[in-house]
Amino acid sequence: MTKKAFTVSRRDFLLAAAATALAPPLALRASRRKLGPNDKLNHACIGVGGMGWGDLNQFGKHPKVNIVALCDVDSVRLKKASEAFPNARTYTDWRELLEKEGDKIDSVNVTVPDHNHFVIAVNAIRAGKHVYCQKPMCHDVAEVRALTETAVKAGVITQLGTQIASTKGDRTAVRWIKEGAIGKIKHAYLCSNRPGAVENYRLVGPRPAEGQEAPSTLNWDLWLGTAPARPFSPDIYHPTKWRAWQDFGTGWSGDIGCHIFDAVWKGLGLKPPKSVIAEVQKSWEESPARRADTWPQGNHITWTFPGNKMTESKTLPLEWFDGEFYPPEEIRALYSVADYPAESAMLIGTKGALLIPHGGFPVLLPKTSFENYKVPELPDRNHYHHFVDACLGGEKTESHFAQSGPMTEAILLGTVAIRVPGKLLEWDSAKMKFPNNPDAERYLSRIYRDGWRIAGR
């Protein structure tokens, strides 16, 4: 097949930011079968190792899913997946999969490093496929805006991989926020201080001065995809560790933030923030080499959102803490300083507080004031299967891109603020600009390397 170019220039993103204006990167015929509840969904998995292995098996458990194609740049991972689903056709290059499978597939999941989310998802959507994409939706703010608009215009079913959003816990939290259980919201404190995360995933860097040849089982060029070329080096990129690097990941807040933000975003009906500012790990801030290559191991980000009928004031401060930064002790003490959930959201209201532990059940505080508060009866829901059911004519997905896209944009604005620590960035969402700091706009998008740019641009 002809390897065409796959991205959009920064100017196109920032001035147009509209997926409809982008030239189609693949010579694919947009097609979508009209599916009903009695049909089977023909599904392709792009990325089948790590989180991709879990995604593959979740989709494979749905009785109305046919796993018809598998794709991974790592032949060891692809072999394992093929042995589990022997009837599926296998590919190393996702572009070849989309071109050759054509009308044979109805949907794909995109479970690869963040820097390649957009280019795969947008091409799948333009080919008429429903898309489940792991979080964060994209690597850059501009990509998220373009992908959201592409998906909405195409009318395909979409779902962001915020699996916890479908649990009873998060859905109950959304319900309680919306019904005003703790009154008008005054402040929000979000955190992810997972034990071991800094040591295992958040590398200090910078990258090694010299690399080495990639193993024969890994197509390093395809793994790099849209990112700038660099030599392979073991144990710091593939697998898992890529999130630490700016070229590939979005840092801890960009990744886990999508989980912790979700119930708060939905419950409050938040809109794009007015501003964002970040405080970062001092050793990272003072190291030019690290600032140019890795994400810091600790962040404290503050967004100011427009207020609405759910908030006490005309604006809502929302703070994020990770690594060496923790929510204030007096906030943790509302539940328990010693037992405060490492990953959670705390909303402070005029009538009380709401703690939303990541993966757990929400707690209304103080407990003595809410002993008899009604817990809604919500059915169990599998995030993956909910996507499949939606593709087969069921109800709208929990984390469709029209909902999760604006949320991801806000979260990724935090990663922009990280790169200019201590500077307040005022955000003009309509124009996709920082009126008070135009220099920071260079972090809203990136130029993909040669061979991956969208044709005609």
- pLDDT tens readout for residues 288-317: 999 999 999 999 999 999 999 999 999 999
d(CA 171, CA 286): 41
2, part of any domain: no
Q: Kindly state the DSSP code that residue 311 receives in the 8-state scheme.
A: B
395 and 311, same structural domain? no
**Structural domain ending residue among the three candidates 365, 399, 433:** 399
CATH number of the domain enclosing 61: 3.40.50.720
Task: Give the 3-state secondary structure of residue 341.
Answer: coil
* pLDDT confidence bin for 153, thresholds 50/70/90: very high
**Structural domain ending residue among the three candidates 325, 345, 379:** 379
In contact, 112 and 219? CB cutoff 8 Å: no
184 and 152, same structural domain? no
Mean pLDDT computed over every residue of the chain: 92
452, part of any domain: no
Question: Angle between the 141-154 and 117-126 helix axes, to the nearest 10 degrees?
Answer: 20
What mean pLDDT is predicted for residues 200-219? 91
355 and 368, same structural domain? yes
* Tokens of residue 265, six digits: 């975003």
Is the pLDDT reported for residue 16 higher than 90?
no
pLDDT of residue 21: 29
199 and 149, same structural domain? no
d(CA 174, CA 407): 15
Higher pLDDT, 179 or 35: 179
269 and 120, same structural domain? no
Q: What share of the chain is helix, strand, coil (3-state, %, to 5)?
A: 35, 20, 45
337 and 273, same structural domain? yes
CATH number of the domain enclosing 341: 3.30.360
What mean pLDDT is predicted for residues 450-456? 65
What mean pLDDT is predicted for residues 105-125? 97
Which amino acid, 193? Answer: N
Is the pLDDT reported for residue 25 higher than 60?
no
Model-wide pTM > 0.85: yes
In contact, 437 and 423? CB cutoff 8 Å: yes
Is the pLDDT reported for residue 455 higher than 60?
no
211 and 107, same structural domain? no
Q: Which whole-number Å values give the CA distances from 286 to 50, 292, 329, in the listed order?
A: 34, 11, 27
The CA-CA-CA angle for residues 102, 103, 105, to 5°, reads: 85
63 and 24, same structural domain? yes
d(CA 171, CA 68): 32
Is the pLDDT reported for residue 177 higher than 80?
yes
314, part of any domain: yes
110, part of any domain: yes
5, part of any domain: no
d(CA 255, CA 192): 10
30, part of any domain: yes
Strand partners, 301: 278, 320
d(CA 275, CA 203): 29
Q: Identify the CA nearest to 25 among candidates 53, 1, 45, 41.
A: 1
H/E run at residue 386: helix 383-391
Expressed as residue numbers, the domain containing 257 is 167-227+236-379
309 and 389, same structural domain? no
The 8 Å CB, 24+ separation contacts for 91-94 are 92/219, 92/222, 93/219, 93/222, 94/46, 94/120
191 and 333, same structural domain? yes
342 and 249, same structural domain? yes
373 and 342, same structural domain? yes
* Tokens of residue 176, six digits: 């309680």
Give the chain's domain count: 2
d(CA 446, CA 454): 13
E strands, 314-442, are 315-322, 343-349, 353-357, 363-365, 425-426
Which amino acid, 274? Answer: K
292, part of any domain: yes
252, part of any domain: yes
* pLDDT confidence bin for 415, thresholds 50/70/90: very high
Task: Give residue-wise pLDDT tens across range 222-265.
Answer: 999 999 999 999 999 999 899 999 999 999 999 999 999 999 99
